[in-house]
Structure 1
Amino acid sequence: MSSTIIDQDQQRPVSPAEPAPAGRSRQAVRALLVRLHFYAGVFVAPFLLVAALTGLIYTFAPQLDQLVYGDQLRVERVGEQVRPLSEQVAAARAAHPEGSLASVVTPAEPEDTTRVVLSVPELGEKQRTVFVDPYTAKVQGELTTSWGSTPLRTWLSDLHKNLHLGETGRLYSEVAASWLWVIVAGGLVLWIGRARGQRAKSARGVLLPDRAARGVRRTRSFHAALGVWLALGLFFLSATGLTWSHYSGDRFGQLLDAAKGHAPELDTVLPGAQPAAEGAGGEHAGHGGHGGAHKSADPDPAAFDTALATARRSGLGGTVQVTPAVDASSAWVVAQKDNVWPVHYDQVAVDTAKGEATAHTRWADYPLLAKFSKLGVQGHMGALFGLVNQIVLAVLALGLVLVTFWGYRMWWQRRPTREDRAARLGRAPARGAWRGLPLPVLVLGVPALAALCWALPALGVTLLAFLVVDVAVGLVRQGRSA
């Protein structure tokens, strides 16, 4: 069911020493799912809880940005005519002559400022972004940004991705995303099977909690029913989160390579010019001002007007990012940056000397995998459908917190309370269910599990750790019994 589904799905306490079901049967599959679901919920739940809470905060980063940086990000609209881009760039450079011009981002909304991005050597991979009133060419302020994000949004993003612990902390979010879909899928199977068998095989028995129940059964019904409602959204968050994780993201990149599913690259070499040396240019060199090469001199500000006008004639509307050429043999790049549905991600290469477009890539030409990946990332970040997207993500995060709470509550409610065997927590489901699995399940399941663990290394390593600990605990208990 939803994350941290710790539903042990049993009517009575189960002793760890209780033998697995006799013979090979489907019941052993269910028993194995119960045990996996229980342990995954208990040990992965803290990761999921942290991911839910940090993601909930990040969901409203746009509103927090406006609250903290409103003076830089917004202007009081004056008239209908914006000043030429060249004037805005010149004003920004007059106020901030340091570094070199990396790119310029036009306003997304009429009340937004123009962003002039500077590459400053002492900032490393970060940039200095100067915010200019597009109607008066007056500088509103500046911020140190990272990949176009404000300091606050960058801080919240790092909190969600790695808890500000770098690559080590990044593993927490990958473990959470790797196990989330497993817990959800296992919980769905257990709850739907139980509801169909015990509650008149009705949809109501699956989708709504049993208010007439008491104790652990009541908690289980709320935990499971909410998990059903959240399941689709949690699957989405798991899949999209894994695409930019460290190890699973590398595997996803290999899949895109094999399927030729990457976005088309824009040819930035000017017709008749020799391509720049390896590593010196190309589409991504300095594109967007994200750690690009530091150029010794700024281009003529008037060239920004030429590049923008040429891109508009080529059909690029809305907010765009204008990036100067990295060398004499390369074209300027103008790229759409509209992340709200229906999205626009066309790019055009511009020869500013001639005022003509030399190459074009269109969103319609993206491979299907590239489209799904791009849209999934924007949906995960809450940008794809604006405020509606943010509200849905907030509901998912809060639902995840509730399901986690109910899962742990079930664990506590199922504790033995008799004086002769009282315990603080409920006992784990019985060990040894794998010995009763039908042979076809073993023959097909083991290779499938190996492939899955290769694709999701964080899942594979933690699952192996679970197995090692489980076997060790079993051996210790057998020794004590002997």
Structure 2
Amino acid sequence: MSSTSAIPHQLAPPLPEPERQPSKRRASGLGALLLRLHFYAGILVAPFLIVAALTGLAYTVTPQLDAIVYGDQLYASQPDAAAKPIAEQIAAARSAHPEGALSSVTPGDGDLATRVVFSLPELGEKQHTVYVEPATAAVKGTVTTWFGSTPVTTFLDDLHRNLQLGDVGRYYSEIAASWLWVLVLGGVALWWRRQRDARNRARRLLLPDLAAKQGVRRTRSWHAATGLWLALGLLGLSATGLTWSRYAGANFSTALDALSAHRPELSTTLDGSQPDATGGHHGGADAATSTAPVDPAAADLVLKVARDNGLDGPVELALPASAGSAWTVTQVDNVWPVRKDGIAVDPGSGAVTARSDFADWPLLAQLSGLGVQAHMGILFGPSNQVLLALVAVGLLLMIFWGYRMWWQRRPTRTDRRATGWTSPVASGAWRRLPTWMIVVGIPVVIALGWFIPLFGIPLAGFLLIDVILGTVRANRIHRRRQAA
């Protein structure tokens, strides 16, 4: 028996701890680039995504908040009773609100009160909406609205879009939307590459590894599996968010113009001249403001013509913008299956002078409209709200797990029990890409950077920092070798 083995175990000198060795597996150029981009973009963009998720989560409950705060105005007290003529309801609203120009009327439908909208120059984009009981023509109240949205909804909408900071605040939401799709697609690609040779690949892709011990491996499995389940929803939010953004949204609108893929304009002229612009904003019609005397009695005739021509459900009647123009009647049912048809009506003869049906819209216009409504949580009713809330909570959890992975793998950690620890990918990983991929990728990235500026500018910054760090690291290694 050796002398060493004779020493009691508790008195035996401890064996020297092996040095932590970096992973011997060298990532491919593409894998290394995806990993580095996903890591640094996630660290830097995640704060924007946290704010977007929290404010978006608050926005999902706006229908319920509106019912609590404005229920007395929004809803009819006698929803099953016969409604008074629209002209009488308009007259009651005008009596209660003598200022401003009559802009539009949305007759009560179901349990909703009639909305009579007045525009005033001092309100800008906002308007005064007078709510009228359809059965009695009694005024229920007046609320300052923004494209039909109540103050509560408008506040939470602005909070989500720009943090109540105006145009400056819109940078945050555009950065979040510009990078969300990159993080999602990059994360999916990384997770797929990691599991592509594993047994039970589908289960490992879709479910977290509950058998893993506490550490990076378990955290990463929760982060990645959750991301895979939420990928489609997050990509949809990113795409629809970009259509509203300041810079990418303007480029998207230009592309729709070039492709003639905008929502068709509904002509309100009665003499065959060019149609008036009736573009939408924030998912709602931008009703014209009347500049000429209009007989409210025409509203009942116009509504009857619309019903006779198949425009059922909730509709909005927009008054003529000038003398000799037609009224427009547009369906405003945003719940699937949506009803978005519209007609123009000559108030004198009751003739339909123009028509625009949702089924005839360009496909991109249809998809854009449906995507916006889904983003706002109104396309599928309450289920849409629940889905958006789940996506928002899931995104917050993914960000938490992402930062937890960073903390578990931090370079300064001395605890060797950090399961799954590997060396970070060295800077300059993009230079290991195949030549053909660089040749194809550079113009694609430049095009994306031009179309989505708040993706392209930070990406250029990432690459510049990456080159600088790589150069500094190479010089440091060179000096050490010279000194050795």
Task: Give yes or no for TM over 0.5.
Answer: yes
Cα distance in 2 between the residues matched to 1:13 and 1:152:
56
Partner in structure 2 of residue 111 of structure 1: 111
Cα distance in 2 between the residues matched to 1:63 and 1:134:
22
Partner in structure 1 of residue 145 of structure 2: 145
1:337 aligns with 2:332: yes
Contact 2:316 2:330 in 1 (8 A): yes
Contact 1:453 1:460 in 2 (8 A): yes
Partner in structure 2 of residue 123 of structure 1: 123
Cα distance in 2 between the residues matched to 1:92 and 1:448:
56
How far the C-alpha of 1:419 sits from its partner, in A, is 8.4
Cα distance in 1 between the residues matched to 2:252 and 2:347:
37
**Superposition map of 1:37-116 within 5 A:** 37-77=38-78, 79-108=80-109, 110-116=110-116
Q: State which drifts further: 440-449 or 398-407.
A: 440-449
Percent identity, aligned pairs only, is 54
1:13-72 deviation per Cα after TM superposition (whole angstroms, max 9, x unaligned): 869xx9x96xxxx81110111100100110010111111110011011111111111111
Paired residue type of 1:213: A
How far the C-alpha of 1:306 sits from its partner, in A, is 1.1
1:472 aligns with 2:468: yes
Paired residue type of 2:363: L
Partner in structure 2 of residue 211 of structure 1: 210
How far the C-alpha of 1:201 sits from its partner, in A, is 4.7
**Superposition map of 1:186-205 within 5 A:** 186-197=186-197, 199-205=198-204
- Secondary structure of the structure 2 residue equivalent to 1:454: helix
1:440 aligned residue (415, 430, 436): 436
- Secondary structure of the structure 2 residue equivalent to 1:145: strand
Q: 1:393 to 1:14 in 2, by over 3 A?
A: farther
- Secondary structure of the structure 2 residue equivalent to 1:168: coil
**Superposition map of 1:5-404 within 5 A:** 27-77=28-78, 79-108=80-109, 110-197=110-197, 199-214=198-213, 215-270=215-270, 272=271, 282-283=277-278, 290=286, 292-293=288-289, 295=291, 297=293, 299-404=294-399
1:132-160 deviation per Cα after TM superposition (whole angstroms, max 9, x unaligned): 01111110000111111101101100100
Cα distance in 2 between the residues matched to 1:236 and 1:120:
37
Instruction: Report the TM-score when normalising by structure 1.
Output: 0.88
Paired residue type of 1:377: V
How far the C-alpha of 1:265 sits from its partner, in A, is 1.3
Aligned length: 453
Cα distance in 2 between the residues matched to 1:98 and 1:156:
28
Q: 1:267 to 1:120 in 2, by over 3 A?
A: same
Paired residue type of 1:106: P
- Secondary structure of the structure 2 residue equivalent to 1:166: coil
Q: 1:284 to 1:468 in 2, by over 3 A?
A: closer
Q: Which has the larger radius of gyration?
A: 2
- Secondary structure of the structure 2 residue equivalent to 1:63: helix
- Secondary structure of the structure 1 residue equivalent to 2:196: helix
Q: 1:326 to 1:190 in 2, by over 3 A?
A: same
Q: 1:456 to 1:95 in 2, by over 3 A?
A: same
Partner in structure 2 of residue 7 of structure 1: none
Paired residue type of 1:469: I
Q: 1:208 to 1:100 in 2, by over 3 A?
A: same
Cα distance in 1 between the residues matched to 2:171 and 2:80:
50
How far the C-alpha of 1:440 sits from its partner, in A, is 1.4
Contact 2:428 2:466 in 1 (8 A): no
Contact 1:243 1:252 in 2 (8 A): yes
Q: 1:452 to 1:80 in 2, by over 3 A?
A: same
How far the C-alpha of 1:237 sits from its partner, in A, is 0.8
- Secondary structure of the structure 1 residue equivalent to 2:144: strand
Cα distance in 1 between the residues matched to 2:307 and 2:291:
26
Q: 1:294 to 1:194 in 2, by over 3 A?
A: same
- Secondary structure of the structure 1 residue equivalent to 2:28: helix
Contact 1:412 1:426 in 2 (8 A): no
Cα distance in 1 between the residues matched to 2:368 and 2:272:
34
Partner in structure 2 of residue 417 of structure 1: 413
- Secondary structure of the structure 1 residue equivalent to 2:140: strand
How far the C-alpha of 1:254 sits from its partner, in A, is 1.9
Cα distance in 1 between the residues matched to 2:221 and 2:144:
49
Contact 1:273 1:329 in 2 (8 A): no
Cα distance in 1 between the residues matched to 2:69 and 2:277:
36
What is the aligned-residue RMSD (CA, Å)? 2.6
Query: What are structure 2's unaligned runs of at least 5 residues?
Result: 1-19, 480-484
Partner in structure 2 of residue 459 of structure 1: 455
